[in-house]
Amino acid sequence: MDGITSKFDKVLKASGEYGKVNHEPDSSKEQQRNTPQKSMPFSDQIGNYQRNKGIPNSAYENSQIYIVGSGIAGMAAAYYFIRDGHVPAKNITFLEQLHIDGGSLDGSGNAKDGYIIRGGREMDMTYENLWDIFQDIPALEMPPPYSVLDEYRLINDNDSNYSKARLIHNKGAIQDFSKFGLAKKDQLAIIKLLLKKKEDLDDLTIEDYFSEGFLSSNFWTFWRTMFAFENWHSLLELKLYMHRFLHAIDGLNDLSSLVFPKYNQYDTFITPLGKFLKEKGVNIQFKTLISDLDVHIDTEGKVVKGIITEHEGKKTTIPIGKDDYVIVTTGSMTEDTFYGDNKKAPVIGIDNTTSGQSAGWKLWKNLAAKSEVFGKPEKFCSNIEKSAWESVTLTCRPSALVEKLKTYSVNDPYSGKTVTGGIITITDSDWLMSFTCNRQPHFPGQPDDVLVLWVYALFMDKEGNHIKKVMPACTGDEILAELCYHLGIIEQLDNVIANTIVHTAFMPYITSMFMPRAKGDRPRVVPAGCKNLGLVGQFVETNNDVVFTMESSVRTARIAVYELLNLNKQVPDINPLQYDIRHLLKAAKTLNDQKPFLGEGLLRRVLKGTYFEHVLPAGEDEKEEKESFITEQIQKFNDWIKGIRG
């Protein structure tokens, strides 16, 4: 690769930075200061300047790349090996235990037998790594030169997302969802959490920290149902989420901060990305079980020497040479899924004594047994009562359910535009059931008179209000009955059942990445000492990003490639909107249900008529204030500071 940079040799050879890039800078520890020694962008300085092409230090014509798992993280790794590492695509091989690519980003079926989607994705405009890839992946339905990102923008720019029925209760009545309902002490608790250091939150749960008032507020209902948090989940992860999505907090109640794809997650992302990689020449070997890696460990480091596989009943070891690389997706949120239908409940074949034995978890456990740098998988797969929930896909012909859906919809469900705008939560459901109808058709080729709805519930260990069973014990028809009861159409249940195909999916580990954790429980993307191994997916450690997003999976893949190949390029930290005074002020007012926050009146007086007046959140002009205003505000501010320190 010397020829690429030969005209720059004098500068590069004299540089103390070249070849020593910090590939994963941390904005939570960086003081952004320009100095003579500062040549790279700030850690979270996003934008076009960061879109330079990576320049490899070596040529990789003879390197073989093996990627275990063909989910979005594995696919992203292949993309970055090709684009930034200049690795020939024909040298990249996926080893996939399933018969299909995509991992947890699934979506399949037909109108006759019913569609199924185990989950969906609530997308954000700040997913810098995800959009970095999909700005270059050819569009699914638009002609060249348009990309997946172009399609995504086209539909969301012209069809805004919002909900008009975010909460319902009392047999389907729309509930007021305009307020968060947080007491002052709970608002203060959120601010204190944002101020806390991450390392002080090891193994703490949300209910360890927050009051009962917070946990019963509208705010927590919005948050937990949108992101699938439980009270016993990681307080650290909740903190990271609050930083990551601070800019979206004023769209939390009506979901107006979200953007959704035209189709399901598989057809929107996996189909075009998979086609791109295959056309480049990437290989994929399905039905291949990876049980372990042969890792040589000595004082020089850790090197993968072989991949132990089983394919079509034959066990083999793939030798790994000195110039080869291995990428592994550790763990899986959707392994060991158990399915049901209209007439059958899912038969759950594992418990805590047998969990974590499937391929993805077993491979991670075998790695962890070799060195502590590979983390502690048992923290995430050993308590399925706290990491499981069940989702339900409804394939609906016209029925009373569809007619009821129309009363909650922003647009006609058959219009191709936003329908419910995200999940609708039934607040008096003992299961805490939510349902959604995204833009239709949800699958290419879906008939015009068919709708696909998705349902899930967080409190599966409780009996239903109408069906006196826990949710996993219910057939699809019984879940329909519970839903119809809460929608006030139980008398029309026979009509709904006759026109609805139900597929249920019980997922033991679906929120396992939210389980309480401490430093070292998750491995780094490139664990200490590893020379040719990168770990990607939802169970690896990054500096500030969250789990349960496509963005975090892509981020881990990008870090792995840049670090292993030592590219002269960084992966920018998360979007810095959490540091933007506009979003901080907006969040303060939003948490206070749009009532003025402490000191707002003073700020409005100071900034009124200036260039910076617009940084303040929208609000009515302040009324005439009494003469002692400033003194009162200063005293309140001092009290507030004392409260934070206390």
Residues involved in catalysis: 122, 241
Interstrand relation of 114-116 and 314-319 (parallel, antiparallel or unpaired)? unpaired
Which two structure tokens, joined as six digits, stand for 504? 């249920």
Q: Residue type at 150?
A: D
Q: Report the alpha-carbon distance of residue 495 to residue 143 in Å, rounded.
A: 42
Q: Decide: 424 and 175 in contact? Cβ < 8 Å.
A: no
DSSP secondary structure code for residue 149 in this structure: H
CA dihedral for 355, 357, 358, 359, sign (positive or negative): positive
Q: Report the alpha-carbon distance of residue 129 to residue 352 in Å, rounded.
A: 36
Interstrand relation of 424-426 and 167-169 (parallel, antiparallel or unpaired)? parallel
- The alpha-helical segments, DSSP class H, found in 499-549 are none
Which two structure tokens, joined as six digits, stand for 621? 């002009």
Beta strands in 312-388 (DSSP E): 314-319, 325-329, 338-341
For tokens 């399901």, name the residue: 264
- The alpha-helical segments, DSSP class H, found in 377-421 are 378-381, 400-408
DSSP string, 191-245: HHHHHS-GGGGTT-BHHHHS-HHHHTSHHHHHHHHHHT--TTSBHHHHHHHHHHT
Which two structure tokens, joined as six digits, stand for 269? 């992302």
Q: Looking at the DSSP assignment, which residues form a beta bridge with residue 92?
A: 65
Which two structure tokens, joined as six digits, stand for 611? 């260039």
| Helix and strand element counts for the chain (H, E) | 21, 18
**Which residues 6+ apart lie within 8 Å of 411 measured at CB?**
417, 418, 419
Half-sphere exposure of 615 (CA within 13 A, CB side): 13
Per-residue burial over 265-293, b if 16 or more Cβ lie within 10 Å, else e, is bbbbbbbbbbebbeeeebbbeeebbbebb
DSSP string, 595-631: SPPTTHHHHHHHHTTSTTGGGSPP-PPPPP--TTHHH
